[in-house]
Amino acid sequence: MHTSRSAIGTALLFSLASAMPNLRPRQTDAALEPWVTVNEDGKPSTVTPVLSTISGTPTVISGAPHDITATVFTETNYGKVSTSTGTAPIPTATGGDAGAGAFPVCHNKDGDNAPWCQPTQGTPLYPGTTYYFTWDPTFFPAPNTTILVQGNYLNETTGQVTDQAFESPKWSASWGFWSYKIEDSLMKYQSAKNITLQLATLTADGNSSRIIPGPTVLVTNYPGPQPETGKTPDTLALVIALPTVLGFVALCVVGTCIWHKKTRKIGLGNIMSRSRHGYGIGKSSRSRMGFGKKNKANERIQLMEREIEAEGGEVYRDMPDRPRRDSDALGSLAGTPTEERRMDFYGPGSRDQRDKNLFRDELKRQNDERF
């Protein structure tokens, strides 16, 4: 009987224990991942976060900084705030000439670009910023291995390594990091330069024994302000607005045509205006020959002269123009006469005597008789 009661009590305790929530986070939780802090003297130390309960609330003690564990990041560029999600960017030093700051512990013993963790392939590095170059210390069999962190220029056309861009002093591989400030001189007065990274292990006498290739980074200037691309147009609003606008435009065109048709009338006489006034074959022969009103006036004058002559009167006529000499009309073709000749325009038999003005002579005769 006692044994059965003990078995029932044990089952009850087990059921209660399984019903209690598990406050311990998973070991893969980023908040509990070890991280490295670097003091102002440049010496690193590894920190392991601890989960504790304070006033009934689970709390992580000695947790990594937000920039290491966060998945949402806010960046301010030229006064414009942008938010991005994803993995944390390459860690950078926060202060001091020795590169004080923090970064996560690297775990890449046999992955891509092992033992490198940061920077990754194609990462842009900006001048004026101090970056942490990190690797997995467990990659090296001997913890006291001495290495050199090297950066070499990469020919973009041939893909061959050319000159050396920078090199670290002798460094302990067990530290797992090296901080370096990117300088403008690395770009060699160009907009960007590709630099491939590598680790060179050294022997006891200081000679290089092994080259461990790493990622290729891009040294370039920090990007300027980006123009706003705007939001994607709403399809429903576009379907409603586009026909409305097109219909309004069509209505304006039709209304304008109707208004012009009512206000502007073109008569048949306006179209036939040239024919009405005479043009081409529509003109009379006299108009085409250039006579017109001037010839009609001459006809009236001649009719009046005939009436005066029929009544026995004399018709007044102007003095004829003085005839030009041959030299005036012909110029140099007339030549110079061999003898002096004088033309009498008023002598007997002259043209002036033949075309004497009878009306003026009659007036002169009447005046003479009066006196």
Single out the residue of 351, 357, 364 nearest to residue 317, CA to CA.
Answer: 357
pLDDT attached to residue 284: 55
DSSP string for 251-295: HHHHHHHHHHHHH----HHHHTHHHHH--GGGS-HHHHTT-THHH
CB-CB contact of 197 with 135 (8 Å): no
pLDDT tens-digit readout, 219-267: 999 886 665 665 566 677 777 888 888 889 998 998 888 888 777 665 5
CA distance 106 to 104: 6
Give the type of residue at 70: A
In this prediction the pTM is 0.53
Say if residue 48's pLDDT is above 60. Answer: yes
| DSSP assigned state of 176 | -
CA distance 35 to 44: 10
Instruction: Extract the tokens encoding 194.
Output: 């590709």
Instruction: Extract the tokens encoding 218.
Output: 């891009």
Q: Which long-range contacts (CB under 8 A, 24 or more apart) does 299-303 make?
A: none
Instruction: Extract the tokens encoding 233.
Output: 């147009």
Say if residue 169's pLDDT is above 90. Answer: yes
User: How far from chain centre, in Å, is Cα 147?
Assistant: 49
Percentage of the chain exceeding pLDDT 90: 25
pLDDT tens-digit readout, 133-150: 999 999 998 878 999 999
Provide the pLDDT confidence category of residue 27 given band limits of 50, 70 and 90.
very low
Residue 27 or 147, more confident: 147
pLDDT attached to residue 344: 52
pLDDT attached to residue 325: 55
CA count, 13 A, side-chain hemisphere, 286 = 6
